[in-house]
Structure formats: C-alpha cells, structure tokens
Amino acid sequence: MTETAAQAHAIAHIDTHAQDLSAWTSTIFDFGETAWREYRSAEWYVKTLRDNGFSVEEGSAGMPTAFAANWSNGVGPSLGLYAEYDAVPGNCQAATTIQKPRDGLSVHAGGHTDPHSGLGTAGLGALLAIKSAMERHNLPGTLRFTGEPAEKVRGSKPIHAAKGYYDGLDAILSFHPFYMLPMCNTVRWETHCGAAYSMIYRFVCDEPESWGRSDGAPIPQAHSAVRAPGANDALMMMYMSSKSLRDSMLPHQGGWSISEAILTAGQATADNLPAGLAEIQYMMRMPTIEMAEQVTAVLDRNAEAAARMTGCRFERHWVCKSRPGLANHALAKTVWQSIQTVGAPRWPEEARAIAREIQKNCGLEPMDNPFLAECETLMDPEEAEAILRRDLAPSQTHSTSDDYTDMSWQAPLARFYIARPTLTGPAGFRYPAWVMNALGGIPETIDPMVTTAAKVLAHAGLRILQDADARKAARAEFDQRTGGGIGGSRWIPPLCDYDPPIHFRWPEYVETARGRDWWIPSSQP
C-alpha cells in the first residue's frame, strides 16, 4: 500500500528521537529490576508518559509496578501497545565487551536477557510517534499503553486481561526481540505461543512436636521437635519427586517444559529446630490448557504427599494462568506489509567492531560480518510457519509460551519479531549467555533493533487507525475464530482467578546499611 503522510511523519519522528530512544533503553537496562519489583522502571515510564500528555493509572489491576496509560484525539478507532521491563535474576551484565556485572553488583543480580529494556522503549518510541502523527494530521482515535511487569513469570497480562484493560481495542500490536529461528524479522502466522501455568507451593510446619505421634501428644524431651522433618524436607521431597516424575507428567511430543525455583526457607539459623517455612515455584509451558491442568494435578498430589510425610501442611498460590495464543492472519498481513516497508535492521561498522571485540574476548577469530545473517534478512511469515512446523507434531497447535497470548483473546492481535543483535560463529560453537546480555545493553548494538521495531509498530499502528477495511478484516477473523467474539462459543475466558502474587519474597534490590544491594549479597565472603 502507499505510505500515508501520517506514517511518513511517524518514521521521521522516530529518526529525530533516535538518541532519546537509545538513552531510554540504557536507563531501563541499567535498572535491571526483576519480576514484581520493577519500581524504578515503572516510575520512569509513568513520569515519561505523563510528561508527554498521557493520563496514567499507576498500580493498575492491583499490581504496584504495572500501569495503564491513555490518550485520545477524539472519537475514533483504538490501538493497544505495551512495555515490558522486568529482568532476570542471575544475569547481571554490564554493557561492555567482557563478562562483567554492572558496578557494585554480582552476577546473581538482575539483568536483561530478552531484552525487555529495548522491547519497552521501542513500544514507547512508537507510541509517541503515532501520537505526534495523529496530532499533526488530525487523526481521531485512542491510544492505550500498558506497563506489563513480571513477564518472565507470565505475570501481568493474565491479570490485566481479567480486569478488562484490553477490552474495547480495535487491535493490539505485540513486538518481541528475535529469540529463535525462524522467528526473525517476521510475524507469527498460525502457530502462536501456548499456555503457561505457574504456582508457588508453600510448606508450613506449624506443630513439629506432633509429628509421628498417633495420639497427637507432644514429644516429651526438650528440643526433640527437631526430629520432625519440617518444611525444608517437604520442599526437597516435592522437588525430587516432581523431577523424577517429569517424563511421566506430559507426552513426549511437543515443546513443553517444567522449571522450578526455590524462593524462601524458614530456618531458625540452623538451630536444632525444624524449618517452619519453605516455598518452591513451578513454571510450566505447554501447548494446551488441558496439559497444564494435568501437570497441576500431579504437582498437587506430590505436594500433599510431601506435606504428610514431613509433618507439614501445604498451600498452593497461583503466579499465573495464561491462555494459548489466538492467531489473526488479517492483522498479521498488515504488520508484515509494514515490516517490508521499514526493512530489516542494519548494524553499522561501529557495532560490527564491538561485536568483533566480543568474538576476540571469547577466543574466536574476529569475523568481517560477526552478526547472524538472518538478523538483516526478512522472513516471510508463511515460510517461517512452515519451518517452525517441521519440528512439531501435526496435532500440536501451539509452541513455547509468552503471556501476550492473553491479550489475543480480548482483541485482534499480531505478534512480530525484529532481530536483536546475535553473533554468528564457527560450527558447533556456542557463545556464553553474557554475550547476548551485553549486546542487549551496548547502545551501538541494540539501537538498530529498537528503532526498527519502533518504526514497524508506528507504521502498522497508523495503518490500523487510518484503514477501516484493515480493522474490519481483523475483527471479522477474531469473531470467526472465537465463535462470535468475546463470550463466543469458541472464546476462552480469562483463567485468572487469583490476586496478583506480589507479596512473596521475589528476588529484588534492597536498601541496607551497606547501601543499595541485591538480596543475594553482591560481595564475595
């Protein structure tokens, strides 16, 4: 299609503000805040949005580090964009060419892996460019921009969806940095991300003195309560039994995974008392809700058995229940046209020189073009779909997971990927994880992804706002796939029936007498 004046204005706006986008990306990267604890990042977004004329609800849906921003230029179509900004514990990396944590921290602190630091600022850059184009060309409509914490545990979007924050939108655009071939500089077609369930099992040893006594009478000797296994033993039994049963929980086909994290332990400083509290979190990714329910039933039985054997009781607390994604070919075509117009990102010589230095520091011979060829190449969505399907069973409808999927059941959604800087290398060589993390923070290497994604979001967003036929086609397909839209015969309602899990001991930065620190001490003993 012919590019409109509004689209051209938005692209120019992003070019003009490229240095701002770069600085913003570095700011969020340096915060490196992890799930449910992104206080500085959320505060920064809220202030920036208000400074640019948006009304902002802080703490949306009961999540302290979430927000919902709105701006309207009169009655008209509505568009949804969003930011993610959570980092991952154990991935603290400086924006440099050697393995090095950010100043004053250890590698155990938070760091951006995907990187959400660039994901969010690309969305913000597009949002402001669309707003500027709407004002310049007098385009009616509404922009909604949500702040989505805790994506790494699939946290906020199922909650926002259940509370109605995506309702009434004509379209939602979902961008993610490229993370696996063939999903690079393309749009997801039919096979979207699957379901994800996450929960915390809490074991509590309230009455250790009663363990092992059939009559419920206390153990007579002082300090003998230590004979009760207690919460740590319950947690370890849960951990080991679930790990040993992993292969039996799900079919061997399909892209599924179960991961765990131990959150807290309620010891009495290793005194001769049983641990009173221990918590373990599980995160499962699978194609269908039915598979998630199957695994949950097994984990519940394991938790009950572990609790009974150790003199404990157990509680299950939900972290997330997200739905599998809903495709929308009509909207995907619209975004693909914008990707073709904008083109793939290009890395200048300054970025290539930095990448060569990383290769040298990894013991490799530096390459003339150190970046993966696919990073600067477009991939047709249907061709990408065919490649993706080669490794999937014909019956498998979804692959991997991400909580954008909950948005797709509330409004037509397109999910697309723009290449993040990724290095090539000799056959069989695997770069250490810090390399990708560093490339996501070094401005020269991450900026091409941010500006390209912002341009695609802005270009496609304005197409949606200006083209009634494109909106109508996307809505018709949404209604057809859901059997009548929201509430239709094939529509899956939100699964979220829990409060935001914000009160658990999630890893975070803390203020101490030693200054600002990570909850796992930064310094070595």
pLDDT digits (tens, 9 = 90+) for 250-287: 666 666 788 888 887 666 666 777 888 999 999 999 88
Q: Which fold has domain 196-322?
A: Alpha-Beta Plaits (3.30.70)
- The per-residue pLDDT for 247 is 74
Strands 78-84 and 171-177: parallel
Kindly report which listed range (129-143, 235-249, 265-279, 283-297) carries the lowest average pLDDT score.
265-279
Distance CA 393, CA 396 (A): 5
Amino acid identity of residue 323, one-letter, is R
Question: Does the structure show a pLDDT above 60 at 428?
Answer: yes
Instruction: Give backbone dihedrals phi and psi of 234, rounded to 5 degrees, phi first.
Output: -60, -45
3-state secondary structure labels for all residues of 404-441: HHHHHHCCCEEEEEECCCCECCCCCCCCCHHHHHHHCC
pLDDT at 75 (0 to 100): 97
Fill in the DSSP letter of residue 302.
H
Average pLDDT over residues 312-341: 97
- Percent of the chain at pLDDT > 90 equals 80
CA–CA separation, 367 and 288 (whole Å): 43
- pLDDT range class, residue 217, cuts 50, 70, 90: low
CB-side neighbour CA atoms (13 Å) of 145: 31
Q: Among 98, 180, 158, which Cα is nearest to 358's?
A: 98
- Of 309, 317, 306, 304, the C-alpha closest to 238 is 306
Mean pLDDT of the chain: 93
Residues 26 and 248: their CA atoms lie apart, in Å, by 44
CA pair distance 519, 109, nearest whole angstrom: 8
* pLDDT given at position 246: 76
For 184-208, what is the mean pLDDT?
94
| Least confident span in 59-63, 288-292, 439-443, 477-481 | 288-292
Res 411: pLDDT: 98
Assign a CATH topology to domain 5-192+324-482: Aminopeptidase (3.40.630)
What does the alpha-carbon distance between residue 425 and residue 90 come to, in Å, rounded to a whole number? 25
Tell whether the torsion through CA atoms of 322, 326, 327 and 332 is positive or negative.
Answer: negative
Express each pLDDT in 9-37 by its tens digit: 999 999 999 999 999 999 999 999 999 99
Residue 517's pLDDT band (cuts 50, 70, 90): confident
Helix, strand and coil percent figures for the chain, each rounded to 5: 40, 20, 40
Mind giving me the DSSP string for 453-464?
HHHHHHHHHHHH
Residue 525, token pair as written in the block? 């003993």
Of 322-326, 349-353, 397-401, the poorest mean pLDDT is in 397-401
Fold matches, 5-192+324-482 and 196-322: no
Q: Assess whether the previous peptide bond of 115 is cis (omega < 30° from 0).
A: yes
Q: Tell whether the model's pLDDT for residue 226 goes beyond 60.
A: no
Alpha helices by DSSP H, 18-109: 18-31, 39-51
Between these two residues, 2 and 219, which has the higher pLDDT value? Answer: 2
Cβ atoms within 10 Å of 443's Cβ, excluding its own: 18
Q: What is d(CA 123, CA 129) in angstroms, rounded to the nearest whole number?
A: 10
Beta bridge partners of 111: 88
Beta carbons within 10 angstroms of residue 15's beta carbon: 13
* Residue 268: per-residue pLDDT: 66
- Residue 409, CA distances (Å) to 144, 309, 441, 486 in order: 17, 42, 33, 7
Please state, in angstroms and rounded to a whole number, the distance separating the CA atoms of residues 182 and 188.
10
| Angstrom distance (rounded) from CA 87 to CA 100 | 16
pLDDT on residue 54: 98
Instruction: For helices 116-136 and 443-466, give the axis angle rounded to 10 degrees.
Output: 40
Q: Which residues of 150-173 are buried (b: 16+ CB within 10 A; e: fewer)?
A: bbbbbbbbbbbbbbebbeebbbbb
Q: Which of 80, 83, 15, 70 is closest to 43 using CA atoms?
A: 83
SS3 string of 229-254? Answer: CHHHHHHHHHHHHHHHCHHHHCCCCC
Residue 265 DSSP symbol: E
* Cα separations in angstroms, 298 against 246, 291, 310, 312, 401: 10, 11, 19, 19, 21
With H, G, I as helix, E, B as strand and everything else as coil, classify residue 160: helix
Segment 90-99 mean pLDDT:
97
pLDDT, tens digit (0-9, with 9 covering 90-100), for 36-90: 999 999 999 999 999 999 999 999 999 999 999 999 999 999 999 999 999 999 9
Tokens of 229: 């296994």
Q: Which residues sit opposite 278 in a β-bridge? A: 203, 265
**Any idea how long the chain is?**
525
What separation, in Å, do the N-terminal and C-terminal C-alpha atoms of the chain show?
63
* Peptide bond between residue 218 and the one before it cis (omega within 30 degrees of 0): no
Q: How far apart are CA 20 and CA 16, in angstroms?
A: 9
155: pLDDT strictly greater than 70 = yes
The per-residue pLDDT for 276 is: 87
Delimit the domains of the chain by residue range.
5-192+324-482, 196-322
Q: What is the pLDDT of residue 162?
A: 97
pTM of the model: 0.94
